[in-house]
Structure 1
Amino acid sequence: MQFSTFNFHPNLMEGIGASNYEIATPVQQQVIPPILNGRDIIASAQTGTGKTAAFLLPVINQLLEKGSSGQVSVLVIVPTRELAIQIAQHAEGLTYFTDISSLAIYGGNDGQNFTSEKKALQMGADIIICTPGRFIAHLNMGYVSMKGLRFLVLDEADRMLDMGFQDDINRIITALPANRQTLLFSATMPPKIKNLAKNILKDPVEINIAISKPPEKIVQRAYIVFEEQKSGLVKYLLQHTPYKSVLIFCSRKQNVKSLVRNLKQYGFSAEEMHSDLLQSQRENIINGFTSGRITILVATDILSRGIDIDTIDLVINYDVPRDGEDYVHRIGRTARAEADGVAITLVGEKEQNSFNAIEKLIGTTVEKATLPQMLGQGPEYKPARQKNNNGKYRKFYKRR
C-alpha cells in the first residue's frame, strides 16, 4: 500500500517523500485509518515494525488539517531517552515542510537544556516526546499547560511499567484533559497493560501485529564494514558467489544510482529500480529481471514487497533496513518455491544498533563473516557502545 492511499496533507506527503517512505508496513496499514477516524488505539507492536510512523503520520496530518492551537497538542511518552531522541528525529523529518514544532524532553541533560525545554513548553511546542520523570519535573514547576492536548501516545507501555513508571504515568494522565485521543502501543499485553488500557482508553480499536520471521532455509550472513568498503565488497560478492539472479537493496535512491554506476564500471550489467523511474520504465525492468535478461537489480524498498520471482538466489542489503519488518520482506525475496537462497547484509559503523535491533526482533544472531583480505579490516561489532547518549535534538521549537 502506497502512502498516497491515505490522502495525507500535501505538506506531510513532502516530508514522507523526503524521509524515503514508500510502502506502508502492516502496522501502518492497520493503525493509521482508525487514528484518522478519531478512534483510540491499543496495539501490540514491537519496535522495528514501523509503529513510530504509524502514530506520527496520522497525528501530524490531523494537526495540519485542523491547525495548531498554540499549545501542546501531542504528548508522546516513552521509557528511554534514546527512544525519545529517535522519535523526535522521525518527527523532524516528517514535519520539515510544515510549521509544526516538536521537542524531545529527557533526563540526563544539563541545566541549559532544561531551560530550553521550559521555554519551548511555555511557547507551546506542538509535539512533545518525553520520558516520564523529566516531564513530571517540568509539570511540577507549574508552567506547563495541557489544556490544548489532543493526542496522548504511550509507546512501549509494557517496558515503562516494567521500569516502574506506573505512578509517573498516572500522575501525568491526571494533568491531561479527558477529551483527547489516546494511542497505546505495547510489545506484550500482560494484565497490567490491559488494566491501564481499561482506565485511559475509550472504546479502543485493538490491533495485534506479529512480526514475521525469515524462512529458515535462507542462509543469513552479515559483514561489518566501513561505509567506503561497501561498494568493493559488493563487487567481491558478485565475483565469488554463484547466482542466477541478484537483488540488491539500498535504503536511498542516491545509493541505488551510485552503486549501479560503480557496478557498471566494474564490468557488471546491472539495472536500477526506484521511484524516480516512469511506470513504463519500471515495467520494462521488472520484465527483464523476471525473464532473466537482467541478472543484477539494485532497488529501494519499492521491491521489498509484491515481487515474486523464484529465481532470486542472492539478496544483498547494501544498507541496513529501517526496521525488522523491512528486513524480513527484503530477504524473503529469495529462497522461494522451495529453492535455497542467501541473504547478505552490509552493516556500516552507524548501522550497528539498527542491525542489532533487527537480530533481536527476528530472534536470530546472524553470522558475522570475515571481510576479504583485499578490503582490509572493518570496524569491530559493538552495537551497544554505539549509542549516542550525549546526542542533542536541536530542533526544539519554531518561532511563531
Structure 2
Amino acid sequence: MTPFAYNTTTNITFGSGSASRIAELAPVRGAGACLFVTDPGLIRHGLCDATLSALRDAGLHVTVFSEVEADPSLATLMAARDAGRAAEVDLVIGFGGGSSLDVAKLAALLLGSDEDIDAAWGVGQAKGPRLPLVLVPTTAGTGSEVTPVSIITVGEGEKRGVSSPVILPDAAVLDPDLTLSLPAPITAATGVDAMVHAIEAYASTSANNNPISRMQARQALQLLGANIETAVFDGQDIEARGAMMLGSMLAGQAFANSPVAAVHALAYPIGGTFHVPHGLSNALVLPHVLRFNAPAAHDIYAEIAADAFPDLAGIADPEASCAALIEALANLSRRLQMPTRLRDVDIPESALAKMASDAMIQTRLLMNNPREVTEQDALDIYTAAW
C-alpha cells in the first residue's frame, strides 16, 4: 500500500433542523462577531432566517455579506474580506451553494492572516492561519463543506483555485431541510456534479488516491444514483434530500483527497466564459470525457458502474460495463431534463477552439486524468459535446 495523507472537516453535523442549532458548535460558542457569507437569493427567500436568529440569540454580532454571485469574482472575495475587516469579526460562516462556501473559505484565510491572495493560488500555497470557519451547504452537489479547495473567477473568465488543508472548515452543518425548496434543475445539476466528483476521485491518477477516498466515492455513488431522480421530481422527499446531502459530502471527501481531473478541467471554460452553472458544465462534458478515457480506464469505471446503476451489475466484461456506465450517465441527464449539448446552452461552435486552449491552463486537474489530454483532444471532446 502506497503512502497517502487524508484530511477532512473536523466536525460534521447532519440532520433536519441542524442549521438552526448552529450556535451549539464550539467555533460559534467561542466567537463574538461573525461574517455571514451568502447570496442575495437565499436572503430574499428567507432561507437564512433561522440560522441568523440562532446566531443573534447566542449573542453574536452578525455582519451579513450577501453579494456572492455564481462563479464569484475576485472583487466579490475582496469585498467580503473588507466587510469582515470593518466589523472586526473573529468567525466566518458560509451559508449557501458552492460559490458562497468558496468565498467564505478564502475570506476566512485573508481575514486570519492578511495573506496575499496571488501567493495562495495553486496547490499547497496558502499558509494561513485563518479565522474559525463553519460552512452550511444549501445544495447537494459541491461538497465544498469538506474540501480544501476554493475556486474564484479572475479577469474575463479564468478560474483560479486555492487548494490547501488550511482552508478546510472547522465544522460543517448538513441540514437537508435547506434543500427542500431547491428547484428541480438545480437539484439535477448539483446532483450530477456530486456524481462527477465521486467518479473522478475514484479514477484519479493522483499519487494520493487512497482506500478511504475510493470507499467514500463508491458509497457516494450508491446514495446519489439511488436518490437523484426522486430528489429532482419529488423535491419534498426528505429521505431522498438527506441521502443526496450525504452522498455529496462523501464525494467531496473523496475528491478532496484524490483530486478530480479532465471533466472539471473542460467544464471550467464553459462556466467561466459562458456562465453556465458548474454542475451543468460538468454534466455537458461528462460522457464525452469518459469515452475519451475509456481505453485507459475501462477496468476502473467498470468497478463503480453498479454502484451508480445497480442494474449494470450483471455485465461481466469490463469494456462492456464501462460503456454501459457512460450510456447510463448520458441517459440520466436526459431523464433529468438537463441540456445535453453545448449548443443547448448557447455556446457557439466558433468558441470551441478557445475553450480547448483555456482548458489546458488547468494543469492541476489534467495531471490527475487517467489518459493524457492534449489541446486537440480537448477540442475533439468539445466538438463531440457540441
TM > 0.5 fold call: no
Q: TM class, shorter-chain normalised?
A: under 0.3
Q: Which has the higher contact order (CA 8 A, sep 6+)?
A: 1
Q: Compare CA radii of gyration and give the structure with the larger one.
A: 1
**Structure with more of its chain in helix, by fraction:** 2
**Structure with more of its chain in strand, by fraction:** 1
Q: How does the TM-score come out when normalised to structure 2?
A: 0.28
